Amino acid sequence: MSARNGQFQPRYSALALLQARLSGRQFWRPLWGGHRLQPAYDVVVVGAGGHGLATAFHLARDHGLKRIAVLEKRLVGYGNVGRNTTVVRSNYLLPENHYFYEDSLKRWETLSRDLNYNVMYSPRGVVDLALSDDDMGRLARRGNAMRLAGIDAELMDGAALARFCPELAIHTPRRFDIVGALVQSRGGTARHDAVAWGYARAAAAHGVDIIEDCEVTGVDTSSGRAVGVETTKGYVKADRIVFATAGHTGMIGTMLDTPLPIETHLLQAMVSEPIKPLLNTVLVFIFPGHGETYIAQSDRGGLVMGGHLDGFPSYTREGRWDRLEDVVAGAVELLPRIGGVKILRQWAGTNDMTMDGSPIMDRIRYDNVFVNAGWCYGGFKAIPASGAAFATFVATGTAPDLIKAYALSRFDTGHMLDESGGGPFPVRL
């Protein structure tokens, strides 16, 4: 984007492409970075993932803050925002969750225009499959809660599902019969790296300094208040500090001498070799004896798959083969015709799992230090709403109603947001 008369004008358009062709290489320039770390900022955001970049963008655009830095240990988008399976949805049961994620899904629908960057949002539908009458009852309860909140949800029997998703071929003999599904048609996918790049570019266009290869190693305090951060590139004063470090949130708690109800667990995913268009929706399949498989086809033709956590705390990002086998077994059970397709690559990310499966968006230890954490499985889909709401919290000092339920104090008062009903364990949201 370029600035004219104090207003930001779109840089990417048909006219811009023509100008680039006529101007040659002089037209193109780095979209972010190249700034030197300044000695002081109004806000320092630690973590250049989706949540950190979105928070910085909204602080600059919506609240007019001028001196903002995003400090990243490695590269923009290197962490979880570039390691997820790209699903976006708002099909949650609890009101605290479904209102928040619905706000996020509405923002996904306009995000490409808001950022002037194609994030490739694809509302292809998210299909939660039912293998029994009990499953149908559970999905009906969630669908009814969504519809009462004004969120789209459709409970389909086998015949309706066969029409909506013919690639499932649900009437073919299989080990576990598919009897129906809960479908959210507005759910779907977005391109993870485009989201990171889009927010980074938009934040930089509004004057945010994005500093890569800059690890924060400590927080400096004085008179009961945080006054700055120590980094590998030197000391930086800060009026407010925001931590959005995903799987490394537990380390932030240690740094601030504030234990957090979070464990870091490994979650792996995989993608197949490219194949012809096969799957037009996102399928979620929980099958007895193994766990969960969710699967979608990417824009490049690969089948992207994931499942449950590996089941032990770790920072390694090296997945277990038995978990990979479980996910693939579920995918082949769901779509038998893909049995001969090869896995192209496998990867893992570190998830900061809270003890009720819901996020934490609150102050931590000091009035001017904020933590955006504990997203479990829901971090990618939450980015647009999280960035806007948390920026308001940081800028004004008052949490918007949309995120008040995500306060850290709920673990002291017992007001848990246990979406999955799993009890005090790091479970799926």
pLDDT digits (tens, 9 = 90+) for 368-418: 999 999 999 889 999 999 999 999 999 999 999 999 999 999 999 998 998
Query: Which is nearest to 351 in space by CA: 261, 260, 249, 266?
Result: 266
pLDDT confidence tier of residue 311, bands split at 50, 70 and 90? confident
In the three-class reduction of DSSP (H, G, I as helix; E, B as strand; rest coil), residue 269 is classed as strand
Query: Which is nearest to 35 in space by CA: 72, 69, 1?
Result: 69
Query: Which is nearest to 48 in space by CA: 79, 74, 84, 72?
Result: 72
pLDDT confidence tier of residue 290, bands split at 50, 70 and 90? low
Q: First-to-last CA distance in the chain?
A: 37
pLDDT over threshold 50, residue 354: yes
List of residues 6+ apart from 17 with CB closer than 8 A: none
Helices assigned H by DSSP within 206-311? 249-255
Q: What's the predicted TM-score (pTM) here?
A: 0.92
Over pLDDT 70: what percentage of the chain?
A: 95
- Domains annotated on the chain, with CATH: 32-122+187-260+355-429 (3.50.50.60), 123-186+264-354 (3.30.9.10)
Over pLDDT 90: what percentage of the chain?
A: 73
| Max Cα distance, the chain (Å) | 70
Per-residue confidence (pLDDT) for residue 383, from 0 to 100: 98
**16-40 residues labelled b (16+ CB within 10 A) or e (exposed):** eeeeeeeeeeeeeeebbeeeebeee
Per-residue confidence (pLDDT) for residue 426, from 0 to 100: 63
Query: Which is nearest to 116 in space by CA: 50, 187, 189, 206?
Result: 206
CA neighbours within 13 Å on the CB side: how many for 84?
Answer: 29
Q: What is the pLDDT of residues 77-96, one digit of tens each?
A: 888 898 888 999 999 999 99
C-alpha distances out from residue 81 to 33, 102, 144, 378, Å: 18, 20, 31, 11
